[in-house]
Homo-oligomer: A and B are copies of this chain.
Amino acid sequence: MTRLIKKLSKTRGLMPGTVVFVGEKKVDKTHIRIIDYNATEIEEKTVSSIEECFPFKEKPTITWINIDGLHEVDQIERIGRYFDIHPLILEDIANTGQRPKLDSFDHGFFIALKMLTINPESNKIQSEQFSFVVGNNFVLSFQEKIGDVLEPVRERIRKSVPRVRFMDSDYLAYTLVDAVVDGYFTVLETMSERIEAIETQLIKDPGPENLETIYEMKRELIYMRKAVWPLREVIGGLERVESEFIHDSTRVYLRDLYEHAIQVIDTVETFRDMVSGLLDIYLSSVSNKMNEVMKVLTIIATIFIPLGFLAGVYGMNFDTSASTWNLPELGMRYGYLLFWALALLIGGGLFVFFKRKKWL
């Protein structure tokens, strides 16, 4: 739940544009990594102060500055001021409850996304705010903690895969979004396996614990939906944005990415449909089980209550000596055998009745 509504109280009542960290502190110290490259060279380093990033702004090379940890807002403000970023965008960067969005401005654009991963321990979705500002020859990206789904991107830059190295900051931005969307597919795959697992279990042996699991998956899908729906407009907007930053060669890739985003959204909707189908199965399996319980009760009670009455009859103390009308069966030679014969007849008759009703 807390993942859904970030504690926004801190920012409330403040002047718009005030940069306040909203979220859970996930890392001790802000961690800054710089990758600076052009077609021929690459420089990669970890710096300890924001100011060390400044010189890269003016360099003609493409610079990707990645900042892990958002709680030291003064650092975000310092770099924001130096790279000339609007205070409202800085506010969005520091607010981990930010909805995915695209903001384009004169000299670049800003993208906020949710980076979804599967927590390997709990097997549940965990979400991290990932936002970045794209300028003429730099990308400033911000994450909540160290560790992300972007390693393949770095690897490709390092390995000097031509397309990444030769292209400009717009293509780098595309690869970042692409890596995040790729991460969604991993999450969907895990979800798919979980749905399949619960499906099998529901058919084999449903229990009340399944309900909780179903509800939890429903909630996770609600959350995931919230995270991926805005992607449609973010990527669509990026494709349409009229800016010199977005080269036509990149637009082809954006169109492809847009398709992937649609596929993610589609799949989330499909999973929602399936999970609500699972709930139906669960509910009717509960009904079926109750039905079965009722049948057992009914069969046993229906056979033995009349027999109990019969036994009760012959346990009555009517005075057989007062009259031959009173319980003459008791004095009969085969009375007891007749009783059993009658009992078996009644029991057998009901057995046949239940057989016919297919309760047995």
A residues adjacent to B (C-beta < 8 A) = 1-2, 4-5, 7-9, 11-17, 86, 88, 92, 97, 99, 101, 103, 151-152, 155-156, 161, 163-164, 174-175, 178-179, 182-183, 185-186, 188-189, 192, 195-196, 199, 203, 205, 208, 211-212, 215, 218-219, 222-223, 226, 252-253, 255-257, 259, 262-263, 266-267, 270, 273-274, 277, 279-298, 300-302, 304-309, 311-320, 322-323, 325-327, 329-337, 339, 357-359
Contacts and interface: CB of A to CB of B under 8 A. Distances in A.
23 contacts: A13-B179, A13-B182, A15-B163, A16-B178, A205-B358, A211-B285, A215-B281, A226-B270, A284-B286, A289-B291, A292-B357, A293-B294, A293-B359, A294-B294, A297-B301, A304-B309, A315-B317, A316-B339, A317-B330, A318-B335, A323-B333, A323-B334, A327-B336
Copies of the protein in its oligomer: 5
Q: What DSSP secondary structure best describes chain A's contact surface?
A: helix
Nearest to A295: B293
Given A1-B199, A12-B186, A16-B178, 7 more contacts: A13-B179, A99-B259, A212-B281, A215-B280, A222-B274, A312-B312, A316-B330
Contacts of A7: 189
Contacts of A316: 311, 314-315, 317, 330, 336, 339
B164 A15 contact: yes
Contact of A314 (B298, B318, B334): B318
Contacts of A2: 192, 196
